[in-house]
Chain A
Amino acid sequence: MPEQTEVTKTDHPHRLDTLKSATTDSPLLRVHEASSKDAFLLLQDGSIYFGRGFGSGSDSVGEVVFNTGMVGYPESLTDPSYAGQILCFTYPLIGNYGVPSYKERDAFGLPKSFESGSIQVKGAVVQEACKTPSHWSSEKTLSEWLASEGVPGIEGVDTRALVTRLREVGVMMGIIANGQDLDQADRFRDQLRKAAGYDTIHLVREVSVRTPVVYGTGDRRVALIDCGAKLGIVRNLLSRGYQVVRLPYDSSYSEVMKHDPLGVVVSNGPGDPKLCVETVGCVESLIGSDVPTLGICLGEQIVGMAAGVETFKLKYGHRGQNKPCIDLSTARGYVTSQNHGFALDPNSLSKTDLKAWFVNADDHTIEGVYHRSKPCIAVQFHPEAHPGPYDTNFVFDKFAESMGHPRKRGEEIRSVSK
């Protein structure tokens, strides 16, 4: 888990009158809105969004991004791909079904509702954080959960206005300031200016395992190169009968092959793929030596770079559970779960041995590739879902086939009756 980049909290009580008078020049704030608020989100472009603090009550810097999924906040907040980011949920009511216990396990002994062992985001932005959740599996409220892991949140924000801003200007760095006087805003502006940019931080290094971790048993083994892997990937491999060895992101080719894997999955993860030099080198060797390889999300970008494809940063990324992708080999469309800010550059793709497999039906960006001659496939979306739809779960079956073990498609309809 990455360390919190925590800002020293000031002891000033928040003075409403100051807050009010200072708001008149902000077009994004109406006076009555400010009066009950004690926190703000300040963006790099100077715009300020007022709200009420929840969670840890600390201050936090990160790249501000948004996700359009309407369910799955426990999964999203623990997704290591969000490391270094402040996540805004576009659905206004978050926390309705509370937060389950990490102790609640699924059939594989993994935490049922989480994608890693802790909250990965730098902060959460919502319209309303539910204080009175209702669900049989709930153990605590969203705010209690964030507080227990030292992560701040801000609610009461006009999230639609924030999203519109991010869409128009592009994602940018921001800071959540809790319990602050607005006259401190300049201080936070300074802090923000000085903070390291998201794209320059080697976040993968912070979220990857340091030493190998083994899941499951058996001799049919898959190596998972962990750039910030979601547990969903592990679940999908386990459910197909593989043992999973989760390896540090900077494992060398020989370190990977030492485990005698049938194939290798290069996981999702945070940050700019250009920083994952070691992983790219390893994957290049894996592909070159015909080891079946599956890249997911950041893993896809790494596979791409290993084959010589350029990457670029999307203006505001794709984060949600409703993203349409077309399988170019069949013309079928699928609804996918996505969380990425970078993508493969289609122009440079044509000069390599990779071919486009999936494209995004909305903006036509590359959403998946396959190798002309090698057993290598990669997808930009999340076939493991969690959160999101299971429709592209078959990607894991394709991967299994490439390892010479055609498996029945995973449990698509989760019948849990009785």
Chain B
Amino acid sequence: MVNPNIATIQTSRQFSENIRFVPVTPQYVEEVIEEESPDAVLLGFGGQTALNCGIELSRSGVFDRHGVKVLGTPVHGIEITEDRDLFKQTMVEIGIPVPRSRAVYSQDEAREVSRDLGFPLMVRVAFTLGGKGGGVARDARELSEIVERGLSSSLTHQVLVEEYLGGWKQIEYEIMRDGDDNSVIICNMENMLGMRVHTGDNVVVAPSQTLTNSEYHMLRSASLAAAKHCGIVGECNIQFALHPESERYGAIEINARMSRSSALASKATGYPLAYIATKLALGYSLTELKNKVSGVTTALFEPSLDYLVVKMPRWDTDKFDGASRRIGTSMKSIGEVMAVGRGFEETIQKAARMLGPRHDGVVAPSPARTREALVESLEHPTDTIVFDIADALRGGLSVEEVSSKSEVDQWFVTKLKNITDSYAELERLPPDSLPEKLVLSRAKTMGFSDRQIGELVALDEDRVREARLASSVVPVTKVIDTLAAEWPAKTNYLYQTFDGAVEEAPPSGKRKVIVVGAGPYRIGSSVEFDWGTMNMAWALKNNGVEEVIVVNCNPETVSTDFDMSDRLYFEELTVERLLAIYDKERPEGMVLCVGGQTPNDLAVALEKRGVRVLGTSSQSVEAAEDRGKFSALLDRLGIPQPSWGSFRSPAEASEFCSSVGYPVIVRPSHVLSGAAMRVVWDPTDLERYVLKALRVNPDYPVTVSEFLEESREVEVDAVSDGKTTVIGAIIEHVQNAGVHSGDAIMSIPTVSITKAAKEKIRTYTRSIARELKAKGPLNIQFLVKGRSVYVIECNLRASRSLPFVSKATGVNLIDLIAPAVLGGTLERKTDVEEPKEFAVKAPQFSFLQMEGADPRLGVEMRSTGEVACFGGTFKEALSKAFIATGHKLPGGGERGILLLEEAGDSALSEPLIASFAKKGIRIDSLSYDSPPEILEQTLASISEGRVSFVLSFNTNSNSTSQTLQKVRRKAIDLQVQTFTTVEEAEAVLLCIS
């Protein structure tokens, strides 16, 4: 297994004996091939990255030279699906229509096509992922911008200019085909927002809802024919545009690999696509494989759903300054949720709640908007489109109007109207009295939560719940079995619905524990918490728990594979639903400390309602997260901390700041990944960010603390049973304090921390864990400045870096902690030894997709993924990590470095620049006050590929010049990396020396 993603479960020993944490690039993969002499390679399971790397290795003859066989779809087949021209030709040959289009390699050609086809035009980029770089061009200027961006992101410098089919339906099919030409459709899916929005950003419903038999099977036949002619062996996804008022259609593209849609299809149907696809790649035929769900029927069948699923994307566009929140043909979402139900209304409302506590459903009390504003929100959809549709319906727009403005099929709009009508009905109920049984039952079938019903009748959520239970309005559990109950199924893949009468899957009498997963991937909570969830599930099994029940709602995870746990509830992570599951299952307890902030935040509420929370008590969690309590605790223990205060207004904060001196850090309470957190350098910014933080979490005061400049940031992952604490590792950040730990490059073992400081860190960790009576994993963040060590934060739950620490040291911390979580003690009593080898973790950013966003780093987390690489030296590990995240290190020749200088910057960068110059690397620079012609020259040099990376340091301000921002954005669009800290630049320097 070649994958540098350290946080994923895939790179765990359970799944592969031999894992190479190296960049998925031709150079590194070839090295692995040389060392291991594999017989064969699989290219279809590592997304576009693996596929592209495989194509390059095949083209350069590496596979042939080493006698490595490509399993599954042959490379030629992959090329047909990836090369826009070849794809079109192939489809036309077999009579499958395609939209009018032409593949182009230059701006001139693109202009020519635009004259033939007219605007608007869709630009697609060959060999890319998530519609990256592509987009809709409405005029010549937009076309030129997108084509430039597209040409530079394509592996083959090819883009496709195509007629724009915005108002058409977007329909997808998942195909499974074996080498004997047997093929089946696993699932079809309908994109609620049609062709105008990328499927990754779309609300996806499976199966399709508005297709007739004729349309469904017309596209199904076309799918199978297309797969056959591309020579697919294994799995692929095909996308069609279907005219909304006829049976005209066109094939848009094929993904000859496991894709995001395949993962969704797998979870939506219960058909294990990746598993079967691998078997097919190994030469099995569909006829000889079993359906894993039924255990008796064959894999050669098409799942029949007796429920529907709704996938909703999770965006984090609001975390990026300047980023546009518009959604379109290029994907911006970071994660997704999937809801299962028997009616559309209940299912989409579940999905909305799964996105996070911000939503109670698709209807939210919101300030009234003008008709014009509502229409605007429908015509130009943003990440709030579903909620905008509900708002528009509540604002009096008709179903027809909403449908025509939003290009969402009336079927979906009518369903949303049922929800808003039902909401209005609830609003009319008399306050302070419990709704009668029939009303309650209807509201629940429409998908409203107890909390939302409670708000509408001015009653507490608990009162609604009691009333509901008293009139036995309770959800029933249903089984996802791939075959609509036609055969007895062996799975324990479950969901709950109010749209049913008969309960399935009776609870067992075994010793059982519920482990709550992390919910959707988002900035600050990603695969690392899925690693935590699953490792806890396995560790509990090893410690005598007979049945582990997992609850999660993220279709992209391993924890939502039905065969990974004893029971899987694909469900909402809300107090209401977790209580329903708890009441049904009656487990020994619930584990909330391994799924990140989402389950952690539910601990207090669940414990209050009688749930036995395993591990650290919710009071302790609260004590660590409450600034005041935690600070007092540190004082009691005599552990230093930066000065801080909590305030409810900018004026209060201002006084404190003048006493400790700027800069300071401003942060709201109870948030993950530093949302709305800022380093503030002057009183004007102070006011701005204190107000912003108060808006984020109005119930709590804002914390302002002293910012220790030029200090090293260090963190510790440890496990404790309240008495014994075992430290997993001390991790040092490459960047100085001020960069969020999720965005920092970090190393195990530390590079510059003294023995004495490390000793202090260990001592502090032990005393804090003991004082807080921790019974589980914990993470503490420290600042080290000279000889002083300060504690800045402590979290009593599994941290983001837990898989990194576990894999870097070879000691799985979750395994250590399981006995303590079950109420016992740690078996291991000694700290984990520092590894001899270096492991460096580096963040992966997605600024390209965040149109308009400025790629500067700060105390608020922005990265969307991470890698880690190993090396005998810090330098080696660091270099690999850089390359694995897509950086191109400067290597002399034409490509130089571009330095952007803000006012008062030069002192910072002079020595550094001198060092680069000494290596013979050309440095161009641009100042905030450079004249426009220099700016133009600079932009041109980026376009021409003469810049290997940009240096643009965060200076003592939150403002930046427009000029420099423009350059950084241009660099991002053309995939030229920008480094914003001196430490990163020094790290690059180290790597190339």
Contact = CB atoms under 8 A, between A and B. Distances in A.
A57 B210 CA distance: 26
Leading 7 A-B pairs by shortest Cβ distance: A72-B213, A417-B97, A161-B502, A134-B411, A90-B484, A322-B302, A68-B304
A75 interface: yes
Nearest to B222: A413
B306 A91 contact: yes
A333 B501 contact: no
B213 A134 contact: no
Interface residues of B, number: 75
Interface stretch (A28-36, A175-183, A209-217): A28-36
B485 A164 contact: yes
A28 B501 CA distance: 7
Given A92-B343, A97-B212, A163 B95 contact: no
Interface of A: 28-33, 35-36, 66, 68-72, 74-75, 90-93, 96-97, 100, 112-113, 127-128, 130, 132-137, 158-161, 163-164, 167, 320-324, 326, 331-335, 361-362, 385-391, 412-418
Contact of A160 (B207, B213, B214, B478): B478
Contact of B304 (A93, A97, A132, A320): A320
Given A133-B411, A332-B182, A390-B217, A167 B306 contact: no
B248 A418 contact: yes
Contact of B472 (A31, A68, A413): A31
B397 interface: no
Interface stretch (B437-445, B454-462, B615-623, B636-644): B437-445
Contacts of A92: 306-308, 342-343, 499
B904 to A, nearest CB: 61
Contacts of A135: 210, 212
A42 B756 CA distance: 80
A74 B250 contact: no
B357 interface: no
B213 A386 contact: yes
Among B298, B303, B411, chain A packs the most CB atoms within 10 A around the CB of B411
6 contacts: A93-B343, A100-B212, A130-B411, A134-B210, A160-B502, A388-B213
B203 to A, nearest CB: 16
A252 B501 CA distance: 52
Interface stretch (B239-247, B667-675, B707-715): B239-247
Interface string B162-192: 0000000000000000001110110000000
A168 to B, nearest CB: 8
A326 B180 CA distance: 13
Contacts, number: 216
Contacts of A389: 217, 220-221, 302
Nearest to B304: A68
B213 A387 contact: yes
B97 A415 contact: yes
A362 B302 contact: no
Contacts of B410: 132, 134
Contacts of B214: 112-113, 414
Contacts of A161: 500-502
B414 A132 contact: yes
Nearest to A130: B411
B60 to A, nearest CB: 36
Given A134-B410, A362-B296, A416-B248, A127 B499 contact: yes
Nearest to B410: A134
A324 B302 CA distance: 8
Contacts of B342: 92, 127-128, 160
B308 A93 contact: yes
Given A28-B502, A132-B414, A361 B182 contact: no
A68 B500 CA distance: 18
A91 B304 contact: yes
B213 A30 contact: no
Given A32-B473, A71-B213, 17 more contacts: A36-B442, A74-B212, A90-B484, A92-B306, A92-B499, A93-B344, A136-B246, A160-B502, A322-B302, A332-B181, A332-B182, A333-B298, A335-B184, A361-B300, A414-B247, A415-B95, A416-B247
A86 B218 CA distance: 28
B500 A160 contact: yes
Interface string B498-528: 0111101000000000000000000000000
Interface string B290-322: 000000111011111111100000000000000
A41 to B, nearest CB: 12
Given A70-B304, A92-B499, A96-B209, A362 B298 contact: yes
Interface string B228-257: 000000000000000011111110000000
Contacts of B250: 417
B211 interface: yes
Interface of B: 94-97, 180-182, 184-185, 207-214, 216-218, 220-222, 224-225, 244-250, 285-287, 296-298, 300-308, 342-344, 409-411, 414, 437-438, 440-442, 471-473, 476, 478, 483-488, 499-502, 504
Interface of B is mostly: loop
B301 A335 contact: yes
B487 A362 contact: yes
A333 B485 contact: no
B380 to A, nearest CB: 23
A29 B473 CA distance: 12
A407 B212 CA distance: 29
B180 A35 contact: no
B484 A68 contact: yes
B304 A322 contact: yes
Contacts of A112: 214
B869 to A, nearest CB: 44
A155 to B, nearest CB: 11
B212 A390 contact: no
B301 A32 contact: no
Contact of A361 (B208, B301, B442, B502): B301
A400 B145 CA distance: 57
B438 A32 contact: yes
A239 to B, nearest CB: 15
Contacts of B95: 413, 415
A35 B212 contact: no
B225 A413 contact: yes
Nearest to B486: A68
Q: Which of B297, B344, B500 has the most CB of A within 10 A?
A: B500
A413 B96 contact: yes
Contacts of A93: 209, 308, 343-344
Given A36-B441, A163-B485, A74 B213 contact: yes
Contacts of B218: 413-414, 416
A92 B498 CA distance: 13
Contacts of A323: 301
A135 B94 CA distance: 28
A137 B212 CA distance: 9
Given A30-B501, A96-B411, A362-B296, A413 B244 contact: no
A9 B340 CA distance: 38
B818 to A, nearest CB: 37
B81 to A, nearest CB: 18
A416 B184 CA distance: 23
Nearest to A362: B297
Nearest to B180: A332
Nearest to A49: B501
A321 B302 contact: yes
Nearest to A128: B343
B286 A333 contact: yes
Given A31-B471, A413-B95, A322 B301 contact: yes
A97 B301 contact: no
Contacts of A333: 182, 285-287, 298, 300
Contacts of B442: 36
A208 B105 CA distance: 63
Contacts of B207: 70-71, 91
Contacts of A31: 471-472
Contacts of A326: 287
A130 B97 CA distance: 32
